[in-house]
Amino acid sequence: MKTSNTVWKERLEGKLPEQLAREIDIFETEIDLRRQGKVDEKVFAETRLRRGVYGQRYDNGQRHDGKKTQTLPYPEAEVKGPGTVWDAPGMQRIKIPYGGLDPHQLEVLGEVAEEYSDGIAHVTTRQDFQLHFVHIDNTPTVMRRLASVGITTREACGNSVRNVTACPFSGVCSDEAFDVTPYARALAMFLLGHPDTQDFGRKFKPTFSGCRHHACGLVNMHDLGCVAVTRQVDGEVRRGFELYVGGGLGAVPHQAKLFDEFLAPEELLPIAQAISRVFARLGEKKNRARARIKFLVKDLGIEKFRELVLEEREKLPHDPRWTAYLDEVDAHVEQGRRPPGELPAVDGDREYSRWLETNVRDQKQAGYVTVAVTLPLGDITADQLRELADIVRKYTSDTIRTTVEQNFVMRWVSKADVRDVYRDLVAAGLGDPGHGTIVDIVACPGTDTCKLGISSSRGLAAELRARLVEKSFSMDETIRGLHIKVSGCFNSCGQHHICDLGFYGVSRTVKGYKVPHFQVVVGGQWEENAGSYGLSVMAVPSKHIPEVVDRLADRYLREKENGEVFKDFVQRIGKVEVKQMLQDLTEMPDHDADPERYTDWGDPREYSIGDIGTGECAGEVVSLVEFGLTSAERMVFEAQVTLDAGRPDAAGEGAYRSMVEAAKALVKTEFLDVGDDDGRIVDEFRTRFYDTKKFWDTYAGGKFAHYLFAQQKRQGQNHTHESAHHAIEEAQLFIEAAHSCYNRMRG
Amino acid sequence: MAIQHVRMKIPIAWRENPDPGAFIRVFHSWIQEQLFDELLIDVADYRHVPDGPVVLLIAHEADYGVDCTKGDLGFYYERKKAVEGGDAACLAQALRALLAASERLETETEIRKRLEIDRSRIDLRICDRALAPNTPETFAALEPTLRTFFDEALGGRVEITHTSAPEPRELFGVRITVSGGYVVGDVMGRLPG
């Protein structure tokens, strides 16, 4: 859509990390091929999801406007996935491993937000960013501009390893065993695009915590969770990880199971790789609702799962990357930019005092603090990102992280500068107090932009926030410390299971009308790495939820015993009692008496569930072979383009490589570790597919395989235009034959 | 240097009882009627963001919205899809769309009489750093074109200032002011195309 897309491509040519640049070029080619109908829509959907290019609500071209369902007549007839219209605005998810950012990255995030999105960058509950209302034609440019500052969107969505999160206080927390940052970084880089992570049936979410007891990385709810621990071994303090697997929220949350009490850092990457292999091999792929690793761990039991993983570990070919990063671990040392100091006097400034109480925390390094930047619903403008970049540059050594509570944490702020930091944050509109308190409400995008949203999580969160901010500082400290999280549906992207008061969207029919409701979830625990999951008590109309919060908070304050935490209070009074005290809130007036109660927060339309679509969170299950053959097709297309550009040698080479790619895709169905050496691939292909006649055409026999063998023999020889042309034709036929072979294999 | 992806914003102010929620209701009703040439899609609510977008009306070719960046409340039109026909055509398209929508806004029952629109100033940004970097050179290159267009369209000698100059990282932006203001109907009559 943007006329400058080609300008940016030229401008950034040669300036991006080579691997990132190549991936983006590939994606751009795939976009072109999809528009020409040359890539299957299901394959393209998973391809774009693995670049973080997501759908949004109404991208099936239908939208209920409050009176009727409108068909949105977009100009482009093509689709970008099953039932997703090409031109419909989408979401771009951006991965930020362990939430770590520098000021230049903040600035570029602001630029792309205001040029390609709605001017807002949204921090997610997994330390990522999301940009909404982005046109798919602009996404390669967004990716290039982000890549120019070292940010990737690869595998931000889809059936892949998602962002590796980590406690935002890693390295500065006095309770941590050690700084998990370099390990989180190493795992993120190692698993990104790893061949063993390309065949999952569902997403895979890893995290790191520096300690057991704080909320930290929320290990218990992750697919792979690492808690930093130390142990005395032969008189030496050794670092290790308590490793957990099989946690997850979703509709039915599972607590992670202990895989290893003390995993040495040398084993972190290979064990993660082995777990990936087992998940890829044995994880469910047909039934998407049971495809997360938590179900595999549950079905096998942790003992059997561990056994399989350790067996797989033994078979892994050695990879020097497993331990190469360990040499750099101790080189990863953050420092303050300015000298340590003492906190200036508060001087009766009430607003500053409030902010200090909630947003500032001592670091373990004397004289320094962390400063939390509270974002309303995780949203920040482009201007604010620029101003924040300036503040980070001025006061820190570029040390800022996103958090899973949809905020930022600046690290290494000298205590002496805290007052000035506050002043500068306030000037930027970023000085809100209340971090980690009842007003710091977490909410997923919900019905604002998500296809799966049932009720408006952000609408409710905004309303609760506005009401609670008013009274928060006169609240008892106990109430102020409660956590509220809101999800738009049962899929728990708002993490409603792990807080004091959780809500997730549901729909009910009342007096003949559909009415947005929220399930009230109590009994969850944020601390202890998401220590326990709440359960829903009852559904209450959306417009009555603020009263639910007031009643529960008031009663807790009146009746809590001796430092009793909220979840224990609920346990003591019992869910029956909770339900009884809220029961009257389930009643609704007649529609005509109060029609506004039948609408959702921030949305005046007559409420409907007609806009709920097919979510893309589950991606599309596309086999490794399909990916490989699609890759081969792209390569042979590129060979054509190269030939048209007058480069027959490169074109001929490209044609050969595309055949090798297709052959590799088939070989990997029998021999996963065939590697990338083309000689080996062709040999294995010959043995497993040609000699066995699996790769055999009814009429042409083994002819198409001979194209591959012949091209391999002529490697190193020059091509003429004609010979390259032939090579391309033969490659196309070979790839078609590979498709046929695969179809026969599938039966 | 070609002009594309223009955002034009006109100042608004509440005479009484500010109610940003009214824009949400109005924009949803505009979608129901598919009121404009653009394909109207959705409403985005950012009332909770200080000094930022307030409420947006997302369309395929452009966005309309109420914005309070830097505390400056205004109603805007931002073109996403390219406009053919040259710079004047691009500017005319955006200005026509903005003024037509602003006139409609003034008639909405929810808002009528409560909202004041300042008809003496237009803030223009080019939402594309590659096409129009925020530099004095860009201003020098574009000022004559902008002057010719706005002098004619607004019916008087306009003043054009490079408002984004102090912050090079921002999008290129100018402010166009016309002494005595403009009358929408007259402007519409003078716009090309």
- The whole-angstrom separation of Cα B56 and Cα B60 is 13
On chain A, the residues whose CB falls within 8 A of the CB of B47 are 462, 602
What's the confidence (pLDDT) of residue B142? 97
Closest CB to A3: pick one of B50, B56, B131.
Answer: B131
What's the confidence (pLDDT) of residue A557? 92
**Interface membership of B86 toward A (CB under 8 Å):** no
Partners of A229 in the beta sheet? A240
| Cβ atoms A127, A81 nearer than 8 A | no
State pLDDT tens for residues B60-103.
Answer: 999 999 999 999 999 999 999 999 999 999 999 999 999 999 99
| Cβ atoms B62, B80 nearer than 8 A | yes
CB contact under 8 A, B130 and A4: yes
- Chain A, 133 to 152: residues with Cβ < 8 Å from chain B are 133, 135
| Cβ atoms A613, A451 nearer than 8 A | yes
Q: Best mutation site among B37, B48, B87, B110 for testing chain A: the one with the most A CBs within 10 Å?
A: B48
Q: Best mutation site among A6, A7, A72, A109 for testing chain B: the one with the most B CBs within 10 Å?
A: A72
Phi, psi of B157 (to 5 degrees): -70, 115
What's the confidence (pLDDT) of residue A611? 85
Q: Which residue of B has its CA nearest to A119?
A: B53
On chain B, the residues whose CB falls within 8 A of the CB of A603 are 24, 28, 43
Measured over all CA atoms, what is the biggest interatomic distance in chain B, rounded to whole angstroms?
45
CB contact under 8 A, B170 and A386: yes
Q: Which residue of B has its CA nearest to A448?
A: B44
- Closest Cα of chain B to A3: distance in Å? 7
| Cβ atoms A220, A533 nearer than 8 A | no
Q: Which residue bears the tokens 């390259």?
A: A724
**Interface membership of A390 toward B (CB under 8 Å):** no
pLDDT at A473 over 80: no
- The whole-angstrom separation of Cα A621 and Cα A285 is 7
- Closest Cα of chain B to A103: distance in Å? 13
Partners of A315 in the beta sheet? none
Q: How far apart are the first and last CA of chain A?
A: 42
Q: Which residue of A has its CA nearest to B29?
A: A65
Question: Model-level pTM greater than 0.90?
Answer: yes
- The whole-angstrom separation of Cα A605 and Cα A602 is 9
CB contact under 8 A, B25 and A377: no
Closest CB to A67: pick one of B5, B32, B170.
Answer: B32
State pLDDT tens for residues B23-46.
Answer: 999 999 999 999 999 999 999 999
- The whole-angstrom separation of Cα A121 and Cα A111 is 10
Phi, psi of B86 (to 5 degrees): 100, 180
What is the DSSP code (8-state) at residue A688? I
C-alpha torsion sign, points B102, B108, B110, B114: positive
Question: Residue A469: which H helix or E strand, with range?
Answer: helix A457-471
**Interface membership of B147 toward A (CB under 8 Å):** no
On chain B, the residues whose CB falls within 8 A of the CB of A377 are 48
Partners of B80 in the beta sheet? none
Closest CB to A3: pick one of B34, B67, B82.
Answer: B82
On chain A, the residues whose CB falls within 8 A of the CB of B131 are 3-4, 7
Within 10 angstroms of residue A89's Cβ, the number of other Cβ atoms is 25
CB under 8 Å to A100, separation ≥6 — which residues?
A181, A185, A400, A401
On chain A, the residues whose CB falls within 8 A of the CB of B4 are 3
**Interface membership of B6 toward A (CB under 8 Å):** no
CB contact under 8 A, A89 and B41: yes
**Interface membership of B68 toward A (CB under 8 Å):** no
Beta strands in A488-581 (DSSP E): 501-510, 513-522, 535-541
Closest CB to B128: pick one of A2, A88, A135.
Answer: A2
Measured over all CA atoms, what is the biggest interatomic distance in chain A, rounded to whole angstroms?
90
State pLDDT tens for residues A696-705.
Answer: 887 778 889 9
- Closest Cα of chain B to A547: distance in Å? 21
What's the confidence (pLDDT) of residue A618? 64
- Chain A, 448 to 467: residues with Cβ < 8 Å from chain B are 448, 458-459, 462, 465-466
**Residue B29 half-sphere exposure, CB side, CA atoms within 13 Å?**
14
What's the confidence (pLDDT) of residue A245? 98
User: Which pLDDT band holds residue A615 (cuts at 50, 70, 90)?
Assistant: confident
State pLDDT tens for residues A346-363.
Answer: 888 999 999 999 999 999
DSSP string, A627-639: HHHHHHHHHHHHH
pLDDT at B150 over 80: yes
**Interface membership of B1 toward A (CB under 8 Å):** no
**Interface membership of B188 toward A (CB under 8 Å):** no
CB contact under 8 A, B5 and A133: no
Question: Residue A322: which H helix or E strand, with range?
Answer: helix A321-324
Partners of A510 in the beta sheet? A513
Partners of A374 in the beta sheet? none
* Choice among A422-431, A698-707, B110-119 with the minimum mean pLDDT: A698-707
| Cβ atoms A494, A378 nearer than 8 A | no
**A-B interface: how many C-beta pairs under 8 angstroms?**
122
| Cβ atoms A612, A488 nearer than 8 A | no
Distances (CA, A) of B25 to A133, A459, A709: 20, 14, 67
- The whole-angstrom separation of Cα A585 and Cα A587 is 5
CB contact under 8 A, A7 and B130: yes
Phi, psi of B107 (to 5 degrees): -90, -10
Q: Cα A363 to chain center, whole Å?
A: 28
* Choice among A28-32, A330-334, A519-523, A526-530 with the minimum mean pLDDT: A330-334
User: Which pLDDT band holds residue A254 (cuts at 50, 70, 90)?
Assistant: confident
- The whole-angstrom separation of Cα A678 and Cα A566 is 61
**Interface membership of B15 toward A (CB under 8 Å):** no
**Residue A565 half-sphere exposure, CB side, CA atoms within 13 Å?**
15
State pLDDT tens for residues A42-69.
Answer: 999 999 999 999 999 999 999 999 989 9
Phi, psi of B69 (to 5 degrees): -60, 135
Helix ranges, A151-264 (H): 181-191
Helix axes A41-49, A624-644, angle to 10 degrees: 90
**3-state SS, one letter per residue, for chain B:** CCCCCEEEEEEEEECCCCCCHHHHHHHHHHHHHCCCCCCEEEEEECCCCCCCEEEEEEECCEEEEEECHHHCCEEEEEECCCCCCCHHHHHHHHHHHHHHHHHHHHHCCCCCCCEEECCCEEEEEECCCCCCCCCHHHHHHHHHHHHHHHHHHHCCCEEEECCCCCCCCCCEEEEEEECCCCCHHHHHHHCCC
Write out the two tokens for A79: 């689709």
Q: Best mutation site among A57, A71, A115 for testing chain B: the one with the most B CBs within 10 Å?
A: A115
Residue A624 φ/ψ region, left for φ over 0, alpha for ψ in the -120 to 50 degree band, beta for the rest: alpha
State pLDDT tens for residues A23-43.
Answer: 999 999 999 999 998 899 999
- Closest Cα of chain B to A4: distance in Å? 6
Write out the two tokens for B8: 């034009």
| Cβ atoms A223, A293 nearer than 8 A | yes
Closest CA to A405 of A449, A447, A444: A444
**Residue B185 half-sphere exposure, CB side, CA atoms within 13 Å?**
0
Write out the two tokens for A442: 């977490």
Average pLDDT rounded to a whole number, residues A128-145: 98
Q: Cα A158 to chain center, whole Å?
A: 9
Q: Which residue of B has its CA nearest to A377?
A: B48
pLDDT at B175 over 80: yes
Q: Best mutation site among A1, A2, A407 for testing chain B: the one with the most B CBs within 10 Å?
A: A2
Q: Does ipTM top 0.85?
A: yes
**Interface membership of A69 toward B (CB under 8 Å):** no
On chain A, the residues whose CB falls within 8 A of the CB of B170 are 383, 386
**Interface membership of A357 toward B (CB under 8 Å):** no
